[in-house]
Structure 1
Amino acid sequence: MTLAILCSGQGGQHRDMFALTGDAPEAAPLFAHAATLLGGKDPRNFARAESDEALHRNRAGQVLCTLQALAAAAALGDAIPPSAIIAGYSVGEVAAWGVGGLLDATVTLDLVARRAEVMNEATHTGDGLIFVHGPSRDEVDRLCECHGTAVAIVNPGDAFVIGGGREALSDFVRDARAMHARIVALPVEVASHTERLAAASAVFRQTLHEASVIFPPRTGARILSGIDAAPVVSPGTGLDKLAAQISQTVQWADCLQACVEAGATGFLELGPGHALSGMAAEAAPGVPAHALDDFRSLQGVRTWLTRHVIL
């Protein structure tokens, strides 16, 4: 039996995102370290007290989402089987390296803070992301070519995240709505996973040169690369892809399919939010899929893992 762990990207931050992990003693050092990256503010208080705008700023959002994944993994401990396959969505891919044991957890937090900084430095004013559902990939590609936007993430079921500048995205939305597409503006102020952030990929790769990678991962887990859904088979190639992911399309639909092909018998999204477990349920009907946010306690998560995934 194989558990697929899904590490969430930005967008699902909410005031109660640390409800299950915030008091876990195993995660206390992670919350303390994350506070040093948030100007001395305790992440739990930050999530509860700050404005939605502050909660979704690029740097804070990346730190908070990564912290939640790492804290959940620490709190669940050996309830997570060593044979797990781990995939991360956007910044969640860096979190996946920490959850899977390729990187020390505090190093992972430092890396995502730096990742956000180099992305901000490379970002043009007005850049952002939108979600579009309905048009086919060919139709979306034609709209992107016409308007100077790019496919940032490919999700299951003709659902895409599109990145670009404000005017280009506005033109894309106008034409996509004429095709009866469903459009959602995302609370992200960078054109992640597009060529507009090529400079950020280059700088982040230099940062990753200094990171100490534990390979093979001490957990025995299999970690997937977002840009091609292939497992990380060497530190150098894996780090190259991790840096490239900032400015290349994330093939999330392929990552979910890779989990299924690896024999996943259950999906657990570490959060925040439910977006990835929802996509997993759509991509693999019949395979149990839950988010940490679905449970009232960590013991409830452990019980579900024992009953539905591990045994």
Structure 2
Amino acid sequence: MARRLMRGPVAILCSGQGGQHRDMFALTGTLPEAEPVFAAAAAHLGGIDPRDFVRDADDAALFANKAGQLLCCTQAIAAWTALGGMVGTTAIIAGYSVGEVAAWSCAGLLDLSQTLELVALRARLMDEAAAGLPAGLAAIVGLRRDRLDPMLKANGCELAIVNAADSVVAGGSDAALQRLCAEARAAGASRVARLRVAVPAHTSLLLPATAAFLEALAAAAPRPPRHALLSGLDGDRVRNVVAGCEKLARQIAQTIDWAACLSHCAESRAATLLELGPGRVLARLASAAAPDADARALEDFRSLEGVAAWLQRGAG
């Protein structure tokens, strides 16, 4: 594929788990340059190639915590191998939940092996922290925080992710989320849905996972970023690697402010935003947060050549 440097800023958005599906590698699965990515990921999936895994695994396996995190990061890194050379040095890179680990790889802080090892470790630590507690996440849209926050507290749930002023993800035990979702529907929320994520990510329930992950992350000795990398905790640019490691570990058990990441992209005048997938959720959120920008998902295209042509038009 011909490569051309972008003349303007582009934001790369690395998706989190929950949107994995059977055809998620439709555009990246045949890329020769992505073969090392799939091979490295297979080592963490019991020797099964991710492309075979998404096709053959049952739903329980497909949406298991470890598999979900690995599959989503594999997709982001595979797409980046094909498209990263087109964005020059002005790209803004942000990742949603585990997608932030993939974003560290795309931004040049971690190599492929380090990234996937850290993703697998992150998933294991989160599973261990949540062991014995049926729990997860739920999306709630259409209620502003002044109405929702008291519901969270009353039902024993926590704010996991802020997507927009009236769009959040809550985390907690299954029983607590069931109560919260019922109350949110009764209060007029426009959308209430349990997400296909098996752990209460970004809540204090996973606090035991943070220290060991920080230790492993520091031991990986991440390099300075080659692109503008955003922290999911506050949307600020990661300029100090040590501080960045602390934030990346803390986000396992603290609220992610994705709305702040999108605000940073808008304030930086990123006119082109690309979600690497799987799914289109981040592209939709970006379109709402930056209506004057052109936000797309990889899955909006029929080929990577189409993605490349779109990126080049956005640069002109």
TM-score (norm 2): 0.95
Q: What residue identity is the alignment partner of 1:237?
A: A
Amino acid at match of 1:296: R
1:90 alignment partner, SS class: coil
Q: Percent identity?
A: 51
Q: Is 2:295 aligned against 1:289? A: yes
Matched, 1:143 2:151: yes
Match for residue 86 of structure 2 among 74, 79, 83: 79
2:283 corresponds in structure 1 to 277
Distance 2:150 2:120 in 1: 35
Aligned AA (2:122): R
Q: Which amino acid aligns with 1:265?
A: A
Once the two structures are superposed, residues 16-50 of structure 1 have per-residue CA deviations (whole angstroms, 9 ceiling, x without a partner) of: 11111111111111100100000000100101111
Q: Residue 211 of structure 1 is aligned with which of 214, 217, 220?
A: 220
Conserved? CA contact 1:25–1:75, under 8 Å = no
Give the structure 2 partner of residue 20 of structure 1.
Answer: 27
Match of 2:176 among 168, 183, 186: 168
Kindly provide the CA deviation profile for residues 236-284 of structure 1, in whole angstroms up to 9, marking residues without a partner as x. Answer: 0000000000000000011100011112011000000100001101111
* 4+ long deviations beyond 4 Å: none
Whether 2:173 is the aligned partner of 1:180: answer: no
The more displaced of 169-178 and 259-268 is 169-178
Alignment partners' CA distance in 1, 2:14 and 2:60: 22
| SS of residue paired to 2:25 | coil
Structure 1 residue ranges without an equivalent (≥5): none
Equivalent of residue 264 in structure 2, options 224, 248, 258: 258
2:139 to 131, 156, 162: 131
Correspondence for 2:4: none
Q: Following TM superposition, by how much is the alpha carbon of 1:52 offset from its aligned partner in structure 2, in angstroms?
A: 2.0
Preserved CA contact (<8 Å) 1:3 1:81: no
SS at match of 1:227: coil
How many residues are aligned here? 307
Structure 2 unaligned residues grouped into runs of 5+: 1-7
CA distance, structure 2, for counterparts of residue 175 and residue 32 of structure 1: 46
Please give the per-residue CA displacement for 1:57-105, whole angstroms capped at 9, x wherever unaligned. Answer: 1000000000000000002241122210011100011110001111112
- Alpha-carbon contact 2:155-2:180 (below 8 Å) kept: yes
The SS at the match of 1:48 is helix
Deviations 1:184-221 (A, max 9, x none): 01111110001111111122111112112111x2xx31
**Residues 1:50 and 2:63 are matched in the alignment:** no
**SS at structure 1 position matched to 2:252:** helix
- The TM-score with structure 1 as length reference comes to 0.97
Q: Secondary structure at the match of 2:272?
A: strand
Give 1:93's match in structure 2, choosing from 81, 89, 100. Answer: 100
1:224 aligns with 2:233: no
Corresponding residue number in structure 2 for 1:111: 118
Which residue, 236, 243, 265 being the options, matches 1:237?
243
What is the RMSD of the two structures over their aligned residues, measured on CA atoms?
1.0
Structure 2: distance between partners of 1:78 and 1:170: 45
- Output the CA distance in 2 between the equivalents of 1:30 and 1:167: 39
Distance 2:187 2:89 in 1: 46
